[in-house]
């Protein structure tokens, strides 16, 4: 399951989720919000303790300086 | 340890954006598991993840380590790899929350916590120490107690990264 979600995450264009946290389960986006706590609690409310993928989508025009 | 070779793709989050190397490990604490894409950051001392995700994994950040450990951590010579490994092993085994401050590339100082979690990438699995930050950052895949399990990380012409353990 983690591999499928991984492939889905790598291939998908997340332009419309810019600046948001997204939760992915069974290759579907089950929650998204710019507030990490809301996105996380929405995802947990929907699938309980099941494993999901949780990712931060950079904002538009964001350049990462690490 | 089993030898593995893991290929890590570069990800563009939108058309025409700069692609970044992203690894998608599963992090777990006491059976609770979340898969968290992390940007590979060889300049980051530790894997660094927002504290909200740590709370989502069930970590109680109010159970702070005893003073003796906090003092050991504050006095630690990070350049002494043996001493660092011994202290990190103790923190992992005792499941301790260790408060700290850290500086990022932008120069800001942030109060944060260390706490262990298990990281899994394909067949690679290890308990490591994570830096849990209150900042709303993209999770980072850093070096300490992790890169020492990896023989080699190769970035190949901006197309993929290869991790050999």
Rounded (5°) CA angle A18-A23-A28 = 100
Contacts of A64 (CB under 8 A, 6+ apart): A58, B18, B20, B39, B138
B24 to A10: CB separation less than 8 angstroms, yes or no = yes
Chain A residues near any Cβ of chain B (below 8 Å): 2, 5-6, 9-10, 13-15, 18, 36-37, 40, 44, 49, 51-58, 60, 63-66
* pTM reported for the whole predicted model: 0.89
Query: Are the C-beta atoms of residues B50 and B132 closer than 8 Å to each other?
Result: yes
A54 to B22: CB separation less than 8 angstroms, yes or no = no
B126 - beta bridge partners?
Answer: B119
Report pLDDT digits (tens) over A1-53. Answer: 678 999 999 999 998 999 999 999 999 999 999 999 999 999 999 998 899 99
Report pLDDT digits (tens) over B32-87. Answer: 999 999 998 888 889 999 999 999 999 999 989 999 999 999 998 888 888 998 99
Two tokens at B69?
């450990």
ipTM of predicted assembly, 2 dp: 0.92
DSSP 8-state secondary structure symbol assigned to residue A57: P
Chain B residues near any Cβ of chain A (below 8 Å): 9, 11, 13-15, 17-18, 20, 22, 24, 26, 31-37, 39, 41, 43-44, 50, 52-53, 56, 105-106, 136-140
For residue A59, list chain B residues with Cβ-Cβ distance below 8 A.
none
Lookup result for tokens 């992992």: B92
Between residues B22 and B151, the one the model is more confident about: B22
Residue B1 scores a pLDDT above 60: no
Lookup result for tokens 């998908």: A12
- Superfamily designation of domain B5-164: Acid Proteases (2.40.70.10)
Residue B159 scores a pLDDT above 60: yes
Alpha-carbon gap: B34 to the closest alpha carbon of chain A (Å): 5
């Amino acid at each position: 399951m983690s591999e499928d979600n991984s492939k889905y995450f790598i291939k998908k264009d997340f332009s419309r989720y810019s600046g948001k946290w997204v939760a992915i389960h069974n290759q579907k986006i089950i929650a998204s919000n710019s507030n990490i706590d809301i996105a996380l609690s929405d995802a947990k409310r929907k699938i309980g303790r099941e494993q999901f993928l949780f990712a931060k989508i950079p904002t538009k025009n964001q350049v990462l300086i690490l | 340890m089993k030898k593995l070779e893991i290929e890590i793709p570069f990800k563009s989050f939108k058309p025409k954006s700069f692609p970044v190397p992203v690894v998608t490990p599963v992090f777990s604490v006491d059976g609770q598991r979340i898969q968290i894409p992390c940007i590979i950051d060889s300049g980051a001392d530790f894997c660094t993840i927002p504290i909200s995700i740590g709370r989502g994994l069930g970590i109680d950040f109010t159970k702070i380590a005893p003073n003796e450990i906090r003092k050991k951590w504050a006095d630690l010579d990070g350049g002494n790899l043996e001493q660092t490994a011994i202290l990190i092993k103790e923190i992992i085994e005792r499941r301790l929350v260790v408060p700290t401050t850290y500086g990022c590339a932008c120069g800001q100082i942030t109060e944060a916590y260390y706490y262990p979690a298990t990281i899994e990438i394909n067949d690679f699995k290890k308990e490591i120490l994570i830096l849990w930050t209150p900042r709303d950052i993209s999770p980072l895949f850093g070096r300490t107690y992790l890169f020492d399990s990896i023989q080699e990380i190769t970035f190949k012409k901006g197309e993929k990264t290869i991790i050999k353990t």
